[in-house]
Structure 1
Amino acid sequence: MRVLHAVTLHSPSHAFGGPVRVALNLSKGLRARGHEARLLALGDGFEKWPTAVEGVPAKLFPARRLLPLGFSGMTSPALVASAGRLVRDADVVHVHLARDLVTLPVALAALRAGKPLVLQTHGMVDPSEKLLAKVLDAVAVRRLLRGADTVLYLTPHEREGLDAVVGAPLANTVRLVNGTPAQEERPAPQGAPRILYSARLQARKRPVDFVDAAPAVLAEHPDAHFVVAGPDEGELGAVRARIGSLGLTDRFTVPGALSGEQVLAELRRAHVYVLPSVDEPFPMSVLEALAVGVPSVVTHSNGLARDIARAGAGRAIEPGPEGVAAAVLDLLDPAANRGASLAARELADGSFSMDAVLDTLLPVYGAALRS
């Protein structure tokens, strides 16, 4: 089976975050099972233009910014012009849908061509009062959500949002959780406590809360070190300013965007992983931490919060630095850390393995092909 995965943007800094990681993980899993999977996306920031990403064949088109609207304002006339031909070469078109000028044209081309179409929205298509969102919903989004063979959602909250966008309950939905490949277990943590944040630096993810939690942790562990990693989406200045105002420059490392291998290397050194964001649907960074065996701290509005709390794989907290600090201190206890680490590995291997995800996804593809 030939599967085309279309996603908005791939870049060396991994600026588009989780949807690209999901597309790559699914593609690699499909290829391991004997299927042909490839990636279609905009590309940005490459010195040497890749024809494959992590072993997955990829067709990347140079990104052009038409409007000052972040990812929504990026497109490629060549990609849009080629969309019809690209979807015709696939048996199934799997679009990681956002309100943008990349995934919408590809999904529309698949719909026009009568190709089996699977949409996965990753929480990116939710009710919005923004003018651009209303226009795109009226022109394309509702048509696509109704016309796709299957719409994949992560959480009940996301499903309710999709129904609200359409204005009626969707009948073509299937829940598909994110999965993560099996990872080598981290060694037992050694030396001074190392606490990691690795995600985009944007307001909703609250990296400043991570910084503000540091003084309380340092009061009990004065040798602790904190890492704030990830591409900047507006909060880097605030993060650096807060570190400086607290006088903690020597306690923090801010390395910027990391490659996938570098993220895993940081996770294997970390005692605790923290993602203090709110309304996070199903973060891949947390799944990767769990797979490595790093106890994780998330807020209650995180889509993984209940699973983590139930399994004892970390802590679910109210948003804010006080909760972050208390949870980190709890998990720095050696016995608590060891128990949470084992639970994290079991949770990742049991509920969020790629085999479990593919066992759900492949019947979705089969039903789309039959229809």
Structure 2
Amino acid sequence: MWQAVVEEDRRLAAHLAFVAPPGAVSGAEPTGGNIYDRRMVEGLRAAGMRVTFTAAAGSWPRPSREDRAGLARVLDQISDDAPVVLDGLIACSAPDVLAGHAERLRLVVLVHMPLGDDVGLPAQVAAELADRERRTLRMARAVVATSNATADRLRRSHGLDVQVVEPGVDPAPGARPSTRGDRLLCVASVAPVKGQDVLVDALAALTDLPWHCRCVGAERHADFAASVRRRIADLGLTDRIVLAGAQTDDQLEASYAESDLLVLPSRAESYGMVVVEALARGIPVVASAVGGLLEAVGTTSIGPPGILVPPDDPPALAAAVRTWLTSRAERDRLRGAAHERRTALEPWSAAARRFATVLRRLTPSGTAS
């Protein structure tokens, strides 16, 4: 038995392919999913595995014929029986491509968010994406989700066995809280699913209180970003709400250091890595009670280190932020809980070890798992 485990470790160490979007491989697009992919590759390499990190360019999850052909070429170059981790955004978009490789490769699909769960999709499009996802996942030797919420969603939708490997977090210096707690921070791509429009409307109800909000994140949906800017201007909040755009690691670190409260009004969220990044610095959170955000926020011996509110509900969000701004006792409690939660967060190395365990359980191609 021990010898079999050793031989399997050697085989995995010899060749592991990880296929992800170009922004993950290059590091140029630091979305939550891309960061997760990069950190898994780094962690697996640190654990002794030889990993080829390969980009598959395309307009995922709606690939063109050329995009699918490019993915096929990537898979064609991988040796028989090799374990292959595919980012779910790519894999679940192209079941027809994977079908030609499912028997000869040990396919692992990493699902950050179910394709049909994106906000604003027409019902027919969501159903089509869910069907592609189902076909892909049923071909996979293993399915990994980044939160229990996502795993439960996939189990209910597709009747699958799903493994969970939550993101890790880097140790970080503690934040320096201000007395009033009026420095608000939102870290998210400016997109409908992230709910910056909800945040603006909520903060418009709090103009009787002192606060300033910095929104950090790439503007990937130009029309939505423009509408948020117009809304800020129409409400007379241009001096209080700043859309700061994407930031470098050092700039983002400075933004965390100068903040008292993270606000994340997402309409959907697979996990919410920025939540644990804030908690790693002892910064409390106000967030939507959706998806994996409940797991990311977590709880402590004195209660949750944040306030959870219904999604798409500006009055509820405004009430939560008002409580934070006006109650010194509540700020002190939430800060205490955040500092306790900080000590329980796991590093990326632990997440990579859990992912490696999933890979070691894979059976050789041509056999049942």
TM over 0.5: yes
User: Do residues 7 (structure 1) and 7 (structure 2) align?
Assistant: no
Partner Cα distance (1:184, 1:336) in 2: 23
Change (3 A) 1:81 1:270: same
Secondary structure of the equivalent of 2:62?
A: helix
**Deviations 1:65-118 (Å, cap 9, x if unpaired)?**
6xxxx7524664774353135433995321121267977577556524x23222
Please point out which of 99, 118, 131 is paired with 2:108. Answer: 118
Partner Cα distance (2:48, 2:74) in 1: 25
User: Do residues 321 (structure 1) and 314 (structure 2) align?
Assistant: yes
**Deviations 1:240-264 (Å, cap 9, x if unpaired)?**
1111111121112212122344323
Partner Cα distance (2:363, 2:70) in 1: 25
**Deviations 1:11-58 (Å, cap 9, x if unpaired)?**
78965722111111222222333333343225xxxxxxxxxxxxxxxx
Taking structure 1 as the reference length, the TM-score comes to: 0.77
Partner Cα distance (2:276, 2:101) in 1: 31
Task: State how 1:315-354 maps to structure 2 within 5 Å.
Answer: 315-319=307-311, 320-332=313-325, 333=327, 336-354=330-348
User: Do residues 37 (structure 1) and 51 (structure 2) align?
Assistant: yes
Counterpart in the other structure of 2:168: 179
Partner Cα distance (1:129, 1:212) in 2: 25
Counterpart in the other structure of 2:351: 357
**Deviations 1:220-256 (Å, cap 9, x if unpaired)?**
22xx211122122242112111111111211122121
Change (3 A) 1:322 1:181: same
Is the 8 Å Cα contact of residues 144 and 163 (structure 2) preserved in structure 1? yes
Please point out which of 12, 31, 36 is paired with 1:17. Answer: 31
Counterpart in the other structure of 1:88: 79
Task: State how 1:1-371 maps to structure 2 within 5 Å.
Answer: 1=13, 2-10=15-23, 17-42=31-56, 63=57, 72-73=62-63, 76=67, 79-88=70-79, 91-98=82-89, 107-108=98-99, 111-112=102-103, 114-126=104-116, 131=124, 141-155=133-147, 157-163=149-155, 165-166=157-158, 169-170=159-160, 172-189=161-178, 193-221=182-210, 224-232=211-219, 233=221, 234-305=223-294, 308=297, 310-311=299-300, 312-319=304-311, 320-332=313-325, 333=327, 336-368=330-362
| Bigger Cα displacement from structure 2, 101-110 vs 296-305 | 101-110
Partner Cα distance (1:151, 1:272) in 2: 35
**Deviations 1:134-176 (Å, cap 9, x if unpaired)?**
55666x643431222211134555345434654xx22x32122
Query: Counterpart amino acid of 1:238?
Result: S
The gaps in structure 2 that reach 5 residues or longer are 1-12
Is the 8 Å Cα contact of residues 85 and 110 (structure 2) preserved in structure 1? yes
Change (3 A) 1:88 1:159: same
Paired residue total: 340
Partner Cα distance (2:155, 2:195) in 1: 28
RMSD of equivalent CA atoms: 3.5
Counterpart in the other structure of 1:60: none
Change (3 A) 1:126 1:41: same
Higher strand fraction (1 or 2): 1
Taking structure 2 as the reference length, the TM-score comes to: 0.77
Identical positions, percent: 24
Partner Cα distance (1:126, 1:215) in 2: 32
Quote the offset at 1:290 in angstroms.
1.7
Is the 8 Å Cα contact of residues 180 and 348 (structure 1) preserved in structure 2? no
